[in-house]
Amino acid sequence: MPDQNYLAAGQNQWEKLQEKLAHAHATFASARNCGDMDVMGTAVQDIAECNEKMNSLRQLHDQVVAQEQAQALYQETPEEWQAKDFTKCTWNDTWKMITQNKSPAEAEAMKAGFNRGIAEVNSRRARGE
């Protein structure tokens, strides 16, 4: 789910743009009644800018939502997991493999050593070994 502060800031900006757009439309109508072409031109420009900014906000919102949905973890089927190449295995896959035929007590006993092993591998990778 997208960050709530991010969404709130976007919603706040959207409301400000709607107010500015309404004001620009009112300014345009008033200038049209007076026949003031300069003010009408400025109002039209303000309307165009508001619409452009609102489209940008809408696109950004769609991007954020799509990105959050793409980050949802894909649950592979047991067949896909079995067929997975070892080079594409994660630590979770490794843990699943080594604990498949273990009792819960044995798996729990192995967990501390497994986590130390992960830490050791990560520290060696960080050192470039």
Note whether 62 and 91 are same-domain residues: no
- Range of lowest pLDDT (26-30, 102-106, 116-120): 102-106
Q: Pick the more confident residue, 22 or 109.
A: 22
Note whether 12 and 55 are same-domain residues: yes
Note whether 85 and 110 are same-domain residues: yes
How far is it, in rounded angstroms, from Cα 51 to Cα 40? 16
Note whether 64 and 122 are same-domain residues: no
Note whether 64 and 32 are same-domain residues: yes
pLDDT value at position 2? Answer: 59
* Selection from 19, 45, 40 nearest residue 28 by Cα: 40
Note whether 23 and 53 are same-domain residues: yes
Instruction: Quote the tokens at residue 71.
Output: 């980050």
Q: Is the pLDDT of residue 101 over 80?
A: no
Give the chain's domain count.
Answer: 2
Note whether 93 and 109 are same-domain residues: yes
- Rounded to an integer, the average pLDDT of 11-22 is 94
Q: Which residues are CB-neighbours of 113 under 8 A, at least 6 positions away?
A: none
Task: Say if CB 68 and CB 6 are below 8 A apart.
Answer: no
pLDDT value at position 75? Answer: 77
Q: Is the pLDDT of residue 1 over 60?
A: no
